[in-house]
Structure 1
């Protein structure tokens, strides 16, 4: 009986953790997708994003410094850090050990998704077709990444997918920029958009964090959401 109670407790905690992350992403509407060339840039990047009103980032595993960057940002209590471009169970373990609060992948790797679910880690795998969505639903997922958004038909494709999959919400990423941001966010099934236009690698490397703050602030104004200095 005690073990059964423990299982209920874990399941309840998992549902709460996932719903909390989803609630935050829904409030932010924007998720900066970052490639860090140096983990030393993580802290000033976070400061720039917070100053712009967006205490959140997805650090992609496209560089050797990504894990250390996640570890640095995870130490802040005012910032939500996730990991992107996660291709395997081994990488999922690495980023979670480093402190990532959620996992994002460009595609749906069943083993990676299952590991995340087994370890109560919010996971948002990439989908682009009805077949992908069927697989996501098999895992009980109702929030997924739509990638590469623009290349796969953009807003029109999302509208088409949302007909037969009305219970699924999307985080479109890939080709999102200031010019088309409002078109995506106007769709009720879009929870947030991932983008890198406000966090370009060259600006981070050059220390041009003022530009990052300015574009982040402008992005939130376009999204029509309040700026936040810390997590809601």
Structure 2
């Protein structure tokens, strides 16, 4: 049973970042991603369909379904009611982090600088989403940040592509990357499965 954020981050090299407009598409999408080898699914709270989409995706055997873009305690309560398996936030505040940590649900907060990481370490966290990865200085910036924080592990997200993912994944403190390229707008279920398989093979 996957219980820690480290386990979740190691489950596959890529975590698809999903923006779902229509909950009816959620289950077939999750089935295609899992079949393609990507079991960890981050459903962002950017649409009104997100909570229903999480419920649909949780019906798919093998899927590990979490909520992304969680930015306040109201959303935290919402996603806990939806029984999510992990929570991702774009940034890190104590007001949001405290109740999530207390709940015991695996948590991946966003960081972009040394102050963010220090705040996270103070809270007992060691696993972070480096976001937005490319516009925050890319791999060069993450290497500079990771050096003094040897205990920290990362999931770069934001501007990562199939072409750039291998370079990120070759850096030891990076356990996985987050990306939306696996589910391009208008893609068929078959296309998503192919893209997922390609992404899942990045560590082979």
Give, in angstroms, the shift of residue 161 of structure 1.
0.7
Could you tell me how far apart the structure 1 residues matched to 2:167 and 2:26 are?
Answer: 30
Which deviations, in whole Å up to 9, do the C-alpha atoms of 1:153-205 show, x marking residues without a partner? 111011101111010000100001011000000010001100000112432xx
Residue 185 (1) aligns with residue 166 (2): no
Number of the residue aligned with 1:69: 53
| Residue 108, structure 1, aligned to residue 108, structure 2 | no
Look up the match of 1:120. Answer: 104
Contact 1:34–1:201 (Cα < 8 Å) also in 2: no
Q: Alignment partner of 1:82: what SS?
A: strand
Q: 5+ residue gaps in structure 1?
A: 1-15, 225-232
Deviation at 1:89, TM superposition (A): 0.8
Among residues 130, 142, 146, which one is paired with 2:126 in the alignment? 142
Alpha-carbon contact 2:12-2:37 (below 8 Å) kept = no
CA apart distance, 1:72: 1.5
Match of 1:178, SS state, is coil
Residue matched to 1:42: 26
The count of residues paired between Structure 1 and Structure 2 equals 203
State the Cα distance separating 1:220 from its structure 2 match: 1.8
User: Offset of 1:93 from its aligned partner?
Assistant: 1.2
Contact in 2 for aligned 1:170/1:191 (Cα 8 Å): yes
The answer to whether residue 196 in structure 2 is matched with residue 212 in structure 1 is no
* Corresponding position: 1:223 with 2:200: no
Q: Matched residue of 2:104: which SS?
A: coil
Q: Please tell me whether the aligned partners of residues 82 and 100 of structure 1 are also in contact (alpha carbons under 8 angstroms).
A: yes
Q: Counterparts of 2:196 and 2:112 in 1: how far apart (Å)? A: 27
SS of alignment partner, residue 47 of structure 1: helix
Deviation string 1:17-64 (CA, Å, 9 cap, x unpaired) is 32xx42232131110000000111111001111221112210000000
Shift of 1:148: 0.2
Q: Which has the larger radius of gyration?
A: 1
1:112 Cα deviation from its structure 2 partner: 1.2
Task: Flag as ranges the 4+ runs of structure 1 deviating above 4 A.
Answer: none
TM-score by length of 2: 0.95
1:77 Cα deviation after fit:
4.1
Partner of 1:17: 3
Contact 2:31–2:60 (CA under 8 A) maintained in structure 1: no
The CA RMSD over aligned residues, in Å, is 1.3
Q: How far apart, CA to CA, are the structure 2 residues paired with 1:201 and 1:180?
A: 20
SS in 1 for 2:186: helix
Which TM-score applies when normalising by structure 1?
0.84
Say whether the 8 Å CA contact 1:146–1:170 is kept in structure 2: yes
